[in-house]
Amino acid sequence: MNTQRPDSARRAGRRTFLTQSAAWGVLLAAGVAADRTSGEVSPISAPPDSTKVLGRPVRPYGSRSRFETASRGQVPSPTREASASLTPLQHLYGIITPSELHFERHHAGVPEIDPARHRLLIHGRVRRPLVLTLAEIQRLPSVSRVHMIECSGNTSTEWARPTMPDVEGTHGMTSCSEWTGVLLATILRDLGVERGAKWVVAEGADGAALTRSLPIAKCLDDVILAYGQNGEALRPEQGYPLRLMVPGWEGSTHVKWLRRLKLVAEPYQTREETSKYTDLMPDGTARQFTFVMEAKSVITYPSAGLRLPGPGVYEITGLAWSGRGYVRRVEISTDGGGTWRDAPLQEPIHRIAHTRFRLPWTWSGRECTLQSRCTDDRGYVQPSIADLARIRGVHSLNHLNAIQSWKVTAQGVVLNVRA
């Protein structure tokens, strides 16, 4: 992935007026005298003085500046339809992922669906089976909640050794949005769940007809039939016009392009819960239905592929989340885990959502290793890769939530390492 994008200039490649000190106050002053440099000029041209020309008219629907080029890198795969693309976390601010940059994962491409013709069938062990139109679903009482979605395969390249060159590659399969829809419980309770209904099989309308089985208890708790994302309709890649939002559970359970929910007695043991989305354990067995994404965090700046322009004060920042609830604490180590400092969290903290942490840090110019460690409101602490591998082995693919280490070399180059 190209880390020399114009918009990464804000992070790297320029000397700075901030010199080495923990007191920000002194630094701006020092900077004035010491270190003014000219900026890099982009190959794209803009008027030399924007006050001397008439600007662009109002528009019905906006788009970003031509100077902004952050994009989703594609995960290497035999086809571009059964593939994935990654959120460039190193370029994002705050906790909302722009919908254009929400990670993608699909098994037979993004289907095109006419919302007026789309239907959701709810059947099986339910007293009154039903076919719903989108308009009917949108007339029911709604909720909007900020939640993250993480693919269970996020970070899966990192089990045996540090592999990917940047945080987009190691952690880019998690994104966070404001989702709007109807609680599935609202509908299921009304239709009447029969006594024998223990699981709900959810099926997508894509070419893979992706199918996952979910325990009924979760479906009667906080699962959302979502049709809205960040204020507007779902984006096609995120399941337009209807998807499941299954707070805190692995991404593949949030079935997109949702067309069918069947209440059944047992899980269907579909491909996505037998050969795929299982965890190979050290004893050779495969663990199924590892639904919850455990507490995890990663530093997005400084992160691998970026370069610190020189010694001085920086703001270390990153994201933390837990599929079980609220992030309560993020600690940062700048000495490879020897000592830890609490990083303030961006408020309000949302349940099962990206939580932004930030901590000022003075880089001495010597080699060092940065890590973040998250604790959720159950008291669960994000493990080291060694502790995780002790239980899981290293032949698993999914559910790697270990502490990530970034080494800063004396030259300011940031690398993906094992601390």
Contacting a copy of itself within 348-387 (CB under 8 A): 348, 350, 356, 358, 360
Among 156, 157, 346, 362, which residue interacts with a copy of itself (rule: CB under 8 A)? Answer: 346
Please give the residues from 126 up to 155 whose contact with a copy of itself meets the rule CB under 8 A: 128, 130-131, 133-136, 138-144
Number of residues that bind a copy of itself (CB under 8 A): 127
Among 209, 368, 381, 397, which residue interacts with a copy of itself (rule: CB under 8 A)? Answer: 209
Q: Minimum Å distance from CB 146 to a copy of itself?
A: 9
Task: Count CB neighbours of 345 within 10 A.
Answer: 18
Q: Who's near 221: CB < 8 A, 6+ residues apart?
A: 185
Q: Which is nearer to a copy of itself, 353 or 402 (CB)?
A: 353
Distance of alpha carbon 224 from alpha carbon 218, whole angstroms: 10
Q: Which is nearer to a copy of itself, 25 or 379 (CB)?
A: 25
Tell me the residue type at 280: L
Q: Which is nearer to a copy of itself, 142 or 384 (CB)?
A: 142
Quick one: DSSP state of residue 395? -
Residue 222 near a copy of itself by CB under 8 A: no
DSSP result, 284-343: S-EE----B---EEEEEES-TT-B--SSEEEEEEEEEE-TTS-EEEEEEESBTTSS-EE-
Burial environment of residue 141 by CB neighbours within 10 A (0 to 12, 13 to 18, 19 or more): exposed
Distance of alpha carbon 125 from alpha carbon 132, whole angstroms: 17
Q: Minimum Å distance from CB 279 to a copy of itself?
A: 25
Please give the residues from 68 up to 97 whose contact with a copy of itself meets the rule CB under 8 A: 68, 70-74, 79-81, 83-85, 91-97
Distance of alpha carbon 376 from alpha carbon 132, whole angstroms: 38
Q: Minimum Å distance from CB 258 to a copy of itself?
A: 12
Q: Minimum Å distance from CB 235 to a copy of itself?
A: 5
Please give the residues from 20 up to 59 whose contact with a copy of itself meets the rule CB under 8 A: 24-25, 27-29, 31-32, 36, 39-42, 44-47, 50-59
Among 3, 90, 101, 328, which residue interacts with a copy of itself (rule: CB under 8 A)? Answer: 101
Q: Minimum Å distance from CB 185 to a copy of itself?
A: 12
Q: Who's near 334: CB < 8 A, 6+ residues apart?
A: 316, 361, 368, 369, 370
